[in-house]
């Protein structure tokens, strides 16, 4: 279970990094797209949740 949580956290983290990188490369017009923002925030939330679960599983 730990490997799954760590993998999904890393995948969602890479998605967030790719989205931020794309905004930097293509300009701020992309950052005004509401769906793009929602997907980026959702991926960031899932990444943080996965890493929090991983941290809690490691402590127990």
3-state SS of 1-60 is CHHHHHHHHHHHHHHHHHHHHHHHHHCCCHHHCHHHHHHHHHHHHHHHHHHHHHHHHHHC
Supply the pTM of this predicted model.
0.87
| Domain hosting residue 28, numbered range | 1-57
Average pLDDT score over residue span 35-54: 96
At a CB cut-off of 8 Å and minimum separation 6, what does 49 contact? 9
pLDDT tens-digit series, residues 2-24: 899 999 999 999 999 999 999 99
Helices 34-59 and 2-26, packing angle to 10 deg:
150
The domain tally of the chain equals 1
Joined together, the tokens standing for residue 59 give 């402590």
Is 54's pLDDT higher than 90? yes
**CB neighbours (10 Å) of residue 8?**
17
């Amino acid at each position: 279970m730990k490997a799954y949580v760590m993998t999904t956290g890393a995948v969602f983290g890479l998605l967030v990094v790719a989205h931020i990188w794309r905004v930097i490369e293509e300009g701020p017009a992309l950052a005004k797209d509401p769906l793009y923002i929602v997907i980026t925030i959702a991926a960031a939330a899932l990444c943080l949740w996965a890493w929090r679960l991983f941290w809690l599983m490691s402590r127990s």
